[in-house]
Amino acid sequence: NPDKQAPFERFFLLRSIPWLQKLNPLIDSVVGQELSRYSPDEITQIVRGKMYYDLQMVRINGSLIGAVLGGILYGLTIIVEGVLK
């Protein structure tokens, strides 16, 4: 039930903020140590590998939406030209 869930989430969030702020230096340290194991070229390759699929999906979705909108606009121009003649 969303009405009962919202106060619980708010309470939990307010109670967890100080705890997370105390953990922030530890998290920074762990992440820094892990990232320092990789060279800049290795990090670049990892990021490119992860982003490649997402970028491909953006391109495909953009092409499909462009084709659909182009078809709709073309159809509307044909209809408008037919009405105006």
Q: Say what the alpha-carbon torsion angle 44, 47, 52, 54 is, to the nearest 10 degrees.
A: -150
Q: What is the DSSP letter of 37?
A: T
**Tens digits of residue pLDDT in 8-18:** 999 999 999 99
Q: What is the pLDDT of residue 3?
A: 85
Yes or no: say if 43 and 35 are a contact pair by the CB < 8 Å rule: yes
**Tens digits of residue pLDDT in 26-74:** 999 999 999 999 999 999 999 998 899 899 999 999 999 999 999 999 9
pLDDT exceeds 90 at position 76: yes
pLDDT exceeds 90 at position 1: no
Q: What is the pLDDT of residue 25?
A: 94
**For residue 43, what are the contacts with CB-CB under 8 A and spacing of at least 6?**
35
